[in-house]
Structure 1
Amino acid sequence: MSRILVVEDEAIIRQSVRRLLQRHEYEVTDVDSIDAARQQKLSDFDLIITDLRLPGGQGTDLIELAGDTPVLIMTSYASLRSAVDAMKMGAREYIVKPFDHGEMVEAVQKILAEPRQRASAPAAKAVASDDVNPEVAQKAAANNGIIGSCDAMQSLFRKISKVAPTDATVLIHGESGTGKELVARALHEQSRRSGAQLISVNCAAIPETLLESELFGHEKGAFTGAAAQRQGLVEAANGGTLFLDEIGELPLEAQARLLRVLQESEIRRVGSVQSIKVDVRLIAATHRNLKEMAANGEFREDLYYRLNVVELTLPALRERGEDVVELANYMLSRACSRMNQPAMAFDQVALQAIRQYNWPGNVRELENAVERAVILAEDNHISADLMGIDLSPDRYISDAMRENLLQNNNSPEPVEQPQAHGDLSLDDYFVHFVLENEIRMTETELARKLGISRKSLWERRQRLGIPRKKK
């Protein structure tokens, strides 16, 4: 049974957290001050949950005293700066009051599932369980949690080791789910900035109207609703690393501001007339072709060349050979440990299916499939059915795509009709249909007929090497 120390001066909250954790079968000790916490033998606990502001000091004072015991900070004083400061000092997690009970339990379970590590050694957190294959776990630890034995991944590891110690801006290319954020983390943790904060931002997840304020901050009264001055994420990453994922989705106006950060190492909050100097290393990632976007006026060319100082490319999972089996076995061991299940193994049919499947969602899809299989398994054998792997091409074709792929089209330059659609892969169907219809259809019409989005159409064109023909 895991032992948890709760440090909270408000009795109602302290008792509520204690009862919540006890209901989930944790052994809980609770105290109301920093001095009372110091009287405990902190190394005897598996986790310390502490309020940020306490009588006699700050909750972050316990981080150093706790040694390798992880610390979760909770506070009602929600601000980006306090979160960043707490994480910089070595807090494992940060949660804002009032919090949902499920949120607290999830955070506790996540921390306790991780291995013990000293706050000063973030690079040690690669291995999730002692039950994981030692050889694979060693590779994961050596490469900051990234597993890969194929030539492309070994080349990537060598590049990371060369680039990480510098402050060079890095642009990471790779399909969705290939692990671009893991590469960014590896670059940060092997750099001289490893003791500072890595702040990750998904540019596609922030509404365009709020993006500049989120990145660069704003002054009080800068716009309707700006009731107080706010620090932006770029400024919060000062001294550390800023990782901008999906940077191809950044609007042109925000691109101009980001260019100034790279050129002048300074920012200007929205509504301010004064600039602020920042020392930030920038790592960007995208699944899009920024060079082509720059040529089409969709991305600033000067920003592209500023970002593309060092380019790292992550191969898709289908291009990594036996890495997929190595990854699957590692994920299976980790999932069994995390879910308190006995050791399991893939049967031969499942291993063959793992090798043959195309994995369009890459490592993320593989991890989800493995976790689903562990949950549904009735014994210690994992089958292809449990993972939801179906190698039949018809499984991945929408009704709209199937209907249009099989019909005869009156194309100016018809492509030879396949004899039997059962012999074609999904990619074959896609190439066949696009080549027959792209001259007489717009991209929107093509996507609608195929039953996919314009973005998916563009991505598949890039992957399959089908350039868009200009009419």
Structure 2
Amino acid sequence: MPHILIVEDETIIRSALRRLLERNQYQVSEAGSVQEAQERFSIPSFDLIVSDLRLPGAPGTELIKLGQGKPVLIMTSYASLRSAVDSMKMGAVDYIAKPFDHDEMLQAVARILRDRQSTQSTPVERPAKAGNADKNTVDNSNGEIGIIGSCPPMLDMYSKIRKVAPTDSNVLIQGESGTGKELVARALHNLSRRAKAPMISVNCAAIPESLIESELFGHEKGAFTGASAGRAGLVEAADGGTLFLDEIGELPLEAQARLLRVLQEGEIRRVGSVQSQKVDVRLIAATHRDLKSLAKVGQFREDLYYRLHVIALKLPPLRERGSDVNEIAHAFLARQSARVGRTDLKFAPDAERAISQYSWPGNVRELENAVERAVILCENPEISADLLGIDIELGDLRDDDFIGLGPQHSISSGNTSHDPAEDLSLEDYFQHFVLEHQDHMTETELARKLGVSRKCLWERRQRLGIPRRKTGVTTEG
């Protein structure tokens, strides 16, 4: 069982994170500061260290040195996201922005531990190319790609990845939310000559519009209120490596113009600066939207679209992947069973049928959530279809996605007092709540009231077709 150290000075966050990880079969220890961690534990003995960036006394980055090579995952708020970039330069394996939802944290932890195990099991004498290819692998015939599935569209995708990865061409990955676009981006990076350099991943929809330019391109001291020091941006942090911009269709037009300069001239200019500097980045972008149509109506720069569209890879939705869905479900079952220490679990025949027949609107992400939920709730060796919860209209929305609503917004079926929300599904309630409050609440406030992250709020908006309303309310919380 992997042993994880949490270093976080806020007791509530530390305790909640500990419970989350322990529920997913990780052994967890915790400390409130770097000094406390040093006094209580042998830091190099842990498999992973998860630390807040800003701590009393020494910063979380001190654990990179104290861990003696053990992976350190840095947690940081959006306000200090640029500092997280500096952390990666110092050797942090990755960073995760607060607020994050449970799935984001669990996926990051699982990926880091899987990468570490893969690296440890790789023979030292192997050629460099093979060593790079083994990063982020899974147990299947496409191990160097890191994606499960063998349907014809995916086999074609693997072939294109292998051809495209060694080049420096820009790549646009298209596909519905939850299809695995970031996995494709990681495969392109890991199979490229840039594999030893960082891959910086940015969800363009998750960063407030007012911050996106300084986050991507950096800023000079005094460039705007609060800019007390100059900072490098995420593009600069990816110098020599790969920049992955997820949901690039949400990038504001002003930031698109700056990005175009990076692609055309290979240089950036920090916000507030009159000087440019050269950068060498390979850009991989992803979107579930039709950028060409957006360009026609002026919502996306046409010149940027054609710069991005050098090579386009389209991921098929899970409903079009045939028997892949069952293969992926069994892989998730094996992973989740190992987490809870059970070797007897299997899908009942009705569950197998339900998995293959369901349309999976949330794609692979929804399937993973369904299998995880079923494994946790299953009391018998066979997982039945009803445990997967996929024959109900709620899709991949779950009650625990709304834990921040409080009793006045209770949607539990066990609530005997009448509440208007009792008659609504979770999707209905979400849509009703957002439409009712978005005129006078910011995105951050909406997310906080709903008990989800800004990224989760954005993804739900996209799936339910609820656009952001342009009002006098600012986009920052």
TM-score range, shorter chain: 0.5 to 0.7
Give the conservation status (yes or no) of the 8 Å contact 2:245–2:285: yes
State the match for 1:375 in structure 2.
Answer: 376
State the match for 2:189 in structure 1.
Answer: 188
Give the conservation status (yes or no) of the 8 Å contact 1:244–1:283: yes
Deviation at 1:268, TM superposition (A): 1.1
Deviation at 1:334, TM superposition (A): 0.6
State the match for 2:362 in structure 1.
Answer: 361
Q: Deviations over 1:275-322 (max 9, x none)?
A: 121111111111111112212222111111100000000001000000
Provide TM-score, normalisation by structure 1.
0.66
CA distance in 2, matches of 1:107, 1:179: 12
Compared with structure 1, are the counterparts of its residues 231 and 342 closer, same or farther at alpha carbon in structure 2 (3 Å cutoff)?
Answer: same
Q: Deviations over 1:160-215 (max 9, x none)?
A: 01101111000011011101111111111111111111111111112222211111
Deviation at 1:106, TM superposition (A): 7.4
Give the conservation status (yes or no) of the 8 Å contact 1:113–1:338: no
Compared with structure 1, are the counterparts of its residues 181 and 3 closer, same or farther at alpha carbon in structure 2 (3 Å cutoff)?
Answer: closer
Aligned residues: 375
CA distance in 1, matches of 2:206, 2:81: 18
Give the conservation status (yes or no) of the 8 Å contact 1:71–1:93: yes
Give the conservation status (yes or no) of the 8 Å contact 1:70–1:116: no
Deviation at 1:27, TM superposition (A): 8.2
State the match for 1:468 in structure 2.
Answer: none
Q: Deviations over 1:24-67 (max 9, x none)?
A: 866899xx99xx99xx896x66456899998xx9654567x54x
State the match for 1:335 in structure 2.
Answer: 336
Matched position secondary structure for 1:329: helix
CA distance in 2, matches of 1:388, 1:249: 32
CA distance in 2, matches of 1:28, 1:286: 38
Compared with structure 1, are the counterparts of its residues 92 and 222 closer, same or farther at alpha carbon in structure 2 (3 Å cutoff)?
Answer: closer
CA distance in 1, matches of 2:157, 2:295: 26
CA distance in 2, matches of 1:96, 1:293: 29
Q: Deviations over 1:345-364 (max 9, x none)?
A: 11111111111111111111
Give the conservation status (yes or no) of the 8 Å contact 1:260–1:266: yes
Which of 206-215 and 336-345 deviates more? 336-345
Give the conservation status (yes or no) of the 8 Å contact 1:169–1:307: yes
Give the conservation status (yes or no) of the 8 Å contact 2:47–2:113: no
Deviation at 1:253, TM superposition (A): 1.5
Compared with structure 1, are the counterparts of its residues 92 and 458 closer, same or farther at alpha carbon in structure 2 (3 Å cutoff)?
Answer: closer
Matched position secondary structure for 1:311: strand
Greater CA radius of gyration, 1 or 2? 1
Matched position secondary structure for 2:141: helix
State the match for 1:292 in structure 2.
Answer: 293
Give the conservation status (yes or no) of the 8 Å contact 1:4–1:46: yes
Deviation at 1:340, TM superposition (A): 2.6
Compared with structure 1, are the counterparts of its residues 339 and 453 closer, same or farther at alpha carbon in structure 2 (3 Å cutoff)?
Answer: closer
Deviation at 1:110, TM superposition (A): 4.9
State the match for 2:209 in structure 1.
Answer: 208
Give the conservation status (yes or no) of the 8 Å contact 1:200–1:244: yes
Unpaired segments ≥5 residues, structure 2: 123-130, 396-459, 468-477
Deviation at 1:154, TM superposition (A): 0.4
CA distance in 1, matches of 2:4, 2:205: 38
Deviation at 1:92, TM superposition (A): 3.5
Specify which of 138, 141, 145 is matched with residue 140 of structure 2: 138
Give the conservation status (yes or no) of the 8 Å contact 2:235–2:281: yes
Matched position secondary structure for 1:200: strand
Deviation at 1:246, TM superposition (A): 0.9
Give the conservation status (yes or no) of the 8 Å contact 2:135–2:190: no
Give the conservation status (yes or no) of the 8 Å contact 1:198–1:242: yes
State the match for 1:428 in structure 2.
Answer: none
CA distance in 1, matches of 2:308, 2:386: 43
Give the conservation status (yes or no) of the 8 Å contact 2:140–2:148: no
CA distance in 2, matches of 1:89, 1:253: 31
State the match for 2:163 in structure 1.
Answer: 162
Matched position secondary structure for 2:143: helix
Matched position secondary structure for 1:139: coil
CA distance in 2, matches of 1:50, 1:458: 35
User: Does 1:198 find its partner at 2:199?
Assistant: yes
Give the conservation status (yes or no) of the 8 Å contact 2:82–2:231: no
Compared with structure 1, are the counterparts of its residues 107 and 293 closer, same or farther at alpha carbon in structure 2 (3 Å cutoff)?
Answer: closer
CA distance in 2, matches of 1:287, 1:182: 15
- Please tell me the residue identity of whatever aligns with 1:143: I
Q: Any residues of structure 2 matched to 1:43-54 within 5 Å, and which?
A: 46-47=47-48
State the match for 1:229 in structure 2.
Answer: 230
- Please tell me the residue identity of whatever aligns with 2:196: G
Give the conservation status (yes or no) of the 8 Å contact 1:5–1:49: yes
Give the conservation status (yes or no) of the 8 Å contact 1:60–1:73: no
Give the conservation status (yes or no) of the 8 Å contact 1:51–1:75: yes
State the match for 1:245 in structure 2.
Answer: 246
State the match for 1:386 in structure 2.
Answer: 387
Deviation at 1:458, TM superposition (A): 10
CA-atom RMSD in angstroms: 4.6
Deviation at 1:241, TM superposition (A): 0.8
Compared with structure 1, are the counterparts of its residues 216 and 106 closer, same or farther at alpha carbon in structure 2 (3 Å cutoff)?
Answer: same
Compared with structure 1, are the counterparts of its residues 240 and 325 closer, same or farther at alpha carbon in structure 2 (3 Å cutoff)?
Answer: same
Deviation at 1:227, TM superposition (A): 2.2
